[in-house]
A = this chain, B = another copy of it.
Amino acid sequence: MDEIVERLRRFTAERDWGQFHTPKNLAMALNVEAGELLELFQWLTPEQSAEPEADVREQIADELADVFVYCLLMSDKLDIDLLAATRAKMAKNEAKYPADLVRGSAKKYSDY
């Protein structure tokens, strides 16, 4: 992952695009890419979404990568350790949703 962050920094610097990368803009770009990912699923049934055709699967991989890239750019910009933040959030979720109380219930599963 560090190697990808390094490559993103170089990519951005070589194009002088750092000036556009305010956290506000990065949050917007992340949402734009998330929307492009969503587009691939909007008319699929849940079943179809589990078995995407080969070309759709490749588009999904591309859009997931775009979202991930903006997670990395924002973390890097704001000096957030993404892996540490994720571990901390998971610890919160493990405490917030005790397995015995929420098992099999989507109602209990609001904002994990």
Residues of A within 8 A of B (CB): 1, 4, 7-8, 11, 14-17, 19-20, 22-25, 27-32, 34-47, 49-50, 52, 57, 60-62, 64-69, 71, 74-75, 77-78, 80, 82-83, 85-90, 92-94, 97, 99, 102-104, 106, 109, 111-112
Contact = CB atoms under 8 A, between A and B. Distances in A.
B49 A65 contact: no
A65 B41 contact: no
Contacts of A99: 14-15
Contacts of A57: 78, 80
Contacts of A45: 24, 46
Contacts of A38: 27-28, 30-32, 35
Given A60-B78, A82-B64, A37 B42 contact: no
Copies of this protein in the assembly total: 4
A65 B78 contact: no
**Interface of A, helix, strand, loop or mixed by DSSP:** helix
A37 B27 contact: yes
A43 to B, nearest CB: 4
